[in-house]
Amino acid sequence: MWVRGRGGQRYARDMSETVLLRRVRAFAEADPRVRAAVLSGSRVNAAIRPDPFQDVDLTLYVRDLPSFTADHGWIDRFGERMILQIPVLMGAQDYDHASPILYLMQFMDGSRLDLGLVPLERRAEFPPESLSRVLLDKDGIFLALPEPHEGDYFPQPPSAQAFADCCNEFWWLAPYAVKGLRRGQLGYAKYHLDTLMRGELLRMLEWAFGCRTGWARNPGKFGARFAGVLPPDWLTRLDTTYAGADAGANWQALLAMTALFREAAAEVAACTGHVYPLQDDERVSAYLTRVGEEGVGQKGGL
C-alpha cells in the first residue's frame, strides 16, 4: 500500500498494519450491523512519512451498538493483544452501552488499533475529522466526504483572552519551579517546569508557527513539524529546556524556557495585536534571578 508525500514521494505502508486493516475491513464487510468504516489520522496523511509505530485509527458507524458493548469478546478476532484500554470503562464512569465507545488495542506484533464505534443515528454528532478516508460505506452516507486534509489540525489565532491566559499561567508557574529547585525538591520543580510551563510554552510556539504560516499548516504533535518554520535558534534553545536530574541544569533550563517564551510571545503579540504583559514578565524574571542565584540546589527556605 502506497501514499504520495507532499514532495511527490511515495511512502510504503507497514505490512503488519495492512494485515490488521484487512482483518477489520473483512469483519466490517461481513457484519450487517456495521454500515460504514472510516480510517483517520496519520495513515491517510500524505504529508507524514509512514513508520511501524503509526496507529490505525478507525471508526465504525453501526446499528445496535449495545449488541457490541454487552460483550467485548468480539474484538479478539483482530489479533493477539499486548494490552487493551477502554476509556469509558475506566474510573467511576457509568457507561450506558449505547453511547460511542473507543477500544484502544496494542497487539503483540507491534501494531496498534484505535477502534471507535458510533451509533449510526448519532453520526451527525460524531462526523469524520478532516484527515479521514472512507473504507466502507454500505448506505452511501459519506459520499460527500472530501479528500483527506489537515485542516482540523491547523492552529487557530488566539483570542486576546487566550493569549493573556497563556502568558499569565506561564509566569505564574515559574516561581513554583525555582522554589522546588531551591528546596532540593526535584520532582516538584520538574513537574512545574516540564509539564505545566512546557505546555504553555508549546502553546505559544504553536501560535508563532501559525503566525508564520498564515494559520494554514499543521505544527504536528508537540511541535514535531516546527522545523523549517520556526527559527533554528528557537529549536536549539527549545532542546536546552529538556534537562536531566541536576538542579543546576534545570535552573539553566528554566532560564532558557523563560527567554524563549518571551521572544515567541512578543512575536505572537505583534502578529495578533494582543498586548504582552511585560510587567508580569519583568517582575517574575527579577524574582527568579534573585532567588535562583542565591543558590539553586541548596536546601533552604525562600
Q: pLDDT tens digits, residue range 57-84? A: 999 999 999 999 999 999 999 999 999 9
Q: pLDDT tens digits, residue range 123-167? A: 999 999 999 999 999 999 999 999 999 999 999 999 999 999 999
pLDDT for residue 89: 92
Q: Compute the half-sphere exposure of residue 78: CA atoms within 13 Å on the CB side of its CA.
A: 30
Please give the helix or strand (H or E) that residue 104 lies within, else none. Answer: strand 101-107
Domain 2-153: homologous superfamily in CATH: Beta Polymerase, domain 2 (3.30.460.10)
Q: What band does 296 get if pLDDT is binned at 50, 70 and 90? A: low
Looking at the chain, list the stretches that DSSP marks H as alpha helix, in order from N- to C-terminal side.
15-30, 66-69, 160-183, 186-190, 198-213, 232-239, 247-272, 278-293
What is the 3 state secondary structure string of 263-280? Answer: HHHHHHHHHHCCCCCHHH
What topology does CATH give the domain 160-293? Answer: Four Helix Bundle (Hemerythrin (Met), subunit A) (1.20.120)
**214: buried, middle or exposed (CB in 10 Å: 19+, 13-18, 0-12)?**
exposed
Q: pLDDT tens digits, residue range 189-232? A: 999 999 999 999 999 999 999 999 999 999 999 999 999 999 99
Q: pLDDT tens digits, residue range 267-282? A: 999 999 999 999 999 9
Q: What band does 10 get if pLDDT is binned at 50, 70 and 90? A: very low
> Global pTM?
0.86
- Angstrom distances, CA of residue 250 to CA of 186, 242, 253, 265: 9, 8, 5, 22
Boundaries of every domain in the chain: 2-153, 160-293
CB of 198 closer than 8 Å to CB of 170 = no
